[in-house]
Chain A
Amino acid sequence: MDKVNDILVGILKVTPDEALKDLGMADVATWDSLSHMTLIVAIEDKFSIQLSGDDIADMISFDAIRKTVLKYTQ
């Protein structure tokens, strides 16, 4: 999950420590609908996956993101 954390740090500008927590959209000031889509594109590129519309809508916390990425990569 290091790669996911790197993406969270890079796009949402959270600290590496914050990236390890289960923060939600409400907790991260830089995380809005636009940066969410940038996040999705970065995750898809990094893991060579194509997320479904439902997955994209569900990935609104760091844990949900990690869980979804695991679903596609395991």
Chain B
Amino acid sequence: MKIEGSRVIITGAGSGFGRQMALRLSSLGARVAALDLNVSALESLVQNDPTIQSFPCNVSNPVEVEKSVEMIFSKLEGVDVLVNNAGIMKNAPLVNFLNREDRKHPLGVWDDVISINQSGVFYMSRACVDRMIAKRCKGVIINISSIAAQGNAGQTAYSASKAAVEAMTKVWAKELGAFGIRSVAIAPGFMDTAGTANALEEKMLAQWIEKTPLRRTGSIDEVVKAVSFIIDNDFLNGVVIPVNGGLVL
């Protein structure tokens, strides 16, 4: 599919990967609908590129998702690409004996991560695909996973949510192929983003860099390039593309 003229929804477009994807795809001629919970981040994005249309939306709320997707389909008269990028990272061991009050993995952390990273992808995809099929729009769902889908110590919820995202990617490739809708995931490794910096102590990040064969973190741009490649290559389906510098967990 050509990026130029394609109609693209990006969730979590207010910052990080999502923001860069929105700006890059828009600069390549895509019509971008940017979703984010953070209204001021969306305003800043649109100030940067007024051709981008913004839609405040909490992807973990199925009612909000349906409303936003309906509005986008009406404004863009269809959608060709959905990038499920919105996500949060919260870390906790399954049991933490240093925490005398409550040793067990906080339920709130589990619920927050699963509701945004996993349910959010599910809600967005079902809303979009229903309308894509009804309008006979062919296209692609791009899910942003993580190297943590392989199982990263201290990230029960995050790893589980990303493994679910990869599983959904493979299911949808099989279910939706007949309609000309592809489904592909990207699994970034440790990237040079604010999210990584917030989630990991500097010492810990240095250890991960040491374990990465290319001895560095990846850049946002390297993930954005993978998104462009997926849109462009119409035979790519049902796979997870690692963008991780060769790191294996």
Contact = CB atoms under 8 A, between A and B. Distances in A.
Interface residues of B, number: 6
Interface stretch (A15-23, A33-41, A64-72): A33-41
A2 to B, nearest CB: 22
Interface string B109-152: 00000000000000000000000011010000000000000000
B16 to A, nearest CB: 36
A37 B178 contact: yes
A50 interface: yes
Contacts, number: 9
A38 B178 contact: yes
A50 B136 contact: yes
Contact of B179 (A37, A50, A53): A37
Contacts of B136: 50
B11 to A, nearest CB: 25
A34 B134 contact: no
A73 B175 CA distance: 28
A55 B134 CA distance: 12
A70 B179 CA distance: 23
Interface of B: 133-134, 136, 175, 178-179
The 7 A-B pairs at the shortest CB distance, nearest first, are namely A41-B178, A38-B178, A53-B134, A41-B179, A50-B136, A34-B175, A37-B178
5 contacts: A34-B175, A37-B178, A38-B178, A41-B178, A53-B134
